[in-house]
Structure 1
């Protein structure tokens, strides 16, 4: 299901796209085939549109209570994981991406074609946070390793881990929509 912000962003894009092929006035309206062709799809200014596919909670190791919750896109296939958040120009604080791997192993991410700074949170097979790469540099091809085996990776906007005081040993729990 699409959230209201996403629906409005799509509506604006389609409206702008449809207006681009409209003549300036009706006085000299061109009725040729070229003038009546539909407008090309205009990509959203913020990059690919967020698709809410679930919800993820960060859970405190100390008290077992929920620290925060975000809406997530889920990357499970090789293609989805390779694409990640590439070409995104912005992302609200309450959204992120969850990468799911078949088995735990050392992971390494990079920021190629990713325009927003991210916190990259590595999570083991027990849903426990084992390492974090904070404030990843946009567009960098530098390897950002997990240093430990991880089966899940969560990407949030940069600063989220510090703001929410998420720590090693905290856990995640997620639910697919």
Structure 2
């Protein structure tokens, strides 16, 4: 009888230890971060829908290919779940009405530069090197109607500044 109780106690102890090890392994490897887990299925692939030119004093000095987010569903998804974005592309968000359209980085795994553009297509402000997966609001420094998202560092590398303009 004592031998049976000892075996049972050993099995319980082993299960407890293995469960604890599995729990700790999950904690140290990042655990369950559902906000950072990409959606099931293949990652979205870039599809060119237009071009954005960056202008200074009326002259184009940089041009990129863009996908266009022009309705609420497309704007809400943005560049979420993309593991990679080539340096020569971005996303253009078009809003029906000018406002203080804030952005966030939820489910976005790559750092971005967010270029806020007013109704006159002049760059109002730039949020550089935004933090992936952050749900913090990233507001513009004024009223905007368009937003261009590009890889982090793009604006600095191409000398894009507030006061410049875009065309598309």
Aligned 8 A contact 1:108 1:145 in 2? yes
What TM-score, normalized by structure 2, do the two folds share?
A: 0.74
**In the alignment, is residue 73 of structure 1 matched against residue 67 of structure 2?**
yes
* Correspondence for 1:133 among 108, 127, 133: 127
1:120-169 alpha-carbon deviations (Å, 9 max, x no partner): 00000100000110000011111100120000000000000000001111
Aligned to 2:102: 108
Aligned 8 A contact 1:107 1:146 in 2? yes
How many residue pairs get aligned? The number is 129
* Correspondence for 2:55 among 49, 59, 77: 59
What TM-score, normalized by structure 1, do the two folds share?
A: 0.71
**In the alignment, is residue 142 of structure 1 matched against residue 141 of structure 2?**
no
* Correspondence for 2:116 among 115, 122, 125: 122
Aligned 8 A contact 1:58 1:166 in 2? yes
What stretches of structure 2 of length at least 5 have no aligned partner? Answer: 1-39
By how many angstroms is 1:66 displaced? 1.3
Structure 1 or 2: more helix by fraction: 2
What stretches of structure 1 of length at least 5 have no aligned partner? Answer: 1-41
Structure 1 or 2: more strand by fraction: 1
SS for the counterpart of 2:134 is coil
1:65-112 alpha-carbon deviations (Å, 9 max, x no partner): 212110000001100000000000000010100000011111110000
SS for the counterpart of 1:147 is coil
**Structure 2 CA distance for aligned equivalents of residues 78 and 109 of structure 1:** 13
Aligned to 1:49: 45
